[in-house]
Amino acid sequence: MNQSKKVKDGALFIGVFLGILLISLFIPFALLICMFLLPIPFVVYSYRYDWQPALVMLAVAVLLSLMIAPMVTLPMTVLVGLGGIMIGAAINHRLTSYETWARGSIGFIAGLLFVFLFSQFVLQINWTEEIDQLVEESLEISSQLVNQFGLGEQTDEQLEALEDRLTILKDLIPVTISIIAIILAFITQWVSYKVINRLENKQFKFPLFRSLRLPAPIIWIYFFAIVLMLINSDAGSMLYIGSYNIFILVGFFVALQGFSFIFFFAYEKKVSHILPVTSIILAVLFPFIVLYLVRILGIIDIGFGLRDRLSKDHK
């Protein structure tokens, strides 16, 4: 590999990264878009030269970002750098799209953990106290609305249930970090495929969503988490918190499997795309009801090969 080209490309992609970083800092609301563009220079560079040179590029980018606004740019650079390098290196090694997605998620989880620790110890942001304060404010607003309409006596139990649900938010920090990382990795990988295909004349792409098939053991992990929660119902214990985080995370994937089956069903039965799109809209509007049903559908599909049976019937 031409060493001078590697250095030139590194300088070029660092320049692109710093340009996007400046745009995200100084243009209002640009961060919403730039967050998915910032990892792209690291993805493309690590795709071309693998992860070792990309780590050198990240180190240089960190040093340069410290000259801009270190309290903001340092955690942001580490976050997008680790996620981008993991995705780019996975593409370089010709891993499948889902394997690349998994590695990218791990990279973003590591980056988000760095952001969390940086904000906790350097910026002195106590996330537990912040969440507790948010819960108190939410309960106070809800209580005022209830008393305003004269429903105080009827809804005391509902407010207590709401308090219990909101209080557990601070225990869900691990799964929240994981789900955010998974979403960041997916969008970054999708954008990266588009960029690499254009720059390198490749044909990288995700498989069709309706073909998503999760491994069967994920069901046992899901039920194992439920059993642990039933055995130890003390919401403050580490065992319960850990199993509850696993339950939420695996439930997220099982729900994806359920939605994938709905898309598969619509395709197999030549049903309009309105059906799967409507299911997603209903899940956003009524998550506690619809997501529960979609998870059940996902479990049936994984455990009993529902789409295989549907394909045989169709033939």
Please tell me the predicted confidence (pLDDT) of residue 89.
95
Burial of 165 (0-12, 13-18, 19+ CB in 10 A): exposed
- What is the DSSP track for 233-246? --TTSHHHHHHHHH
Please tell me the predicted confidence (pLDDT) of residue 48.
92
Rounded distance, CA 127 to CA 113, Å?
Answer: 13
Pick the residue with more confidence: 4 or 167? Answer: 4
For 45-80, write each residue's pLDDT tens digit: 999 999 999 999 999 999 998 888 888 889 999 999
Q: Where are the alpha helices (DSSP H) in the chain?
A: 3-26, 31-37, 40-49, 51-65, 70-92, 97-121, 127-148, 156-167, 173-200, 217-231, 238-268, 274-285, 287-304, 306-314
Q: By percentage, how much of the chain surpasses pLDDT 70?
A: 87
**Average pLDDT of the chain?**
85
| Segment holding 28, helix H or strand E | none
Nearest to 206 by CA among 222, 233, 185: 185
For 218-238, write each residue's pLDDT tens digit: 889 888 988 888 887 676 678
Residue-range domain boundaries for the chain:
1-126+172-206, 209-315
Please tell me the predicted confidence (pLDDT) of residue 33.
86
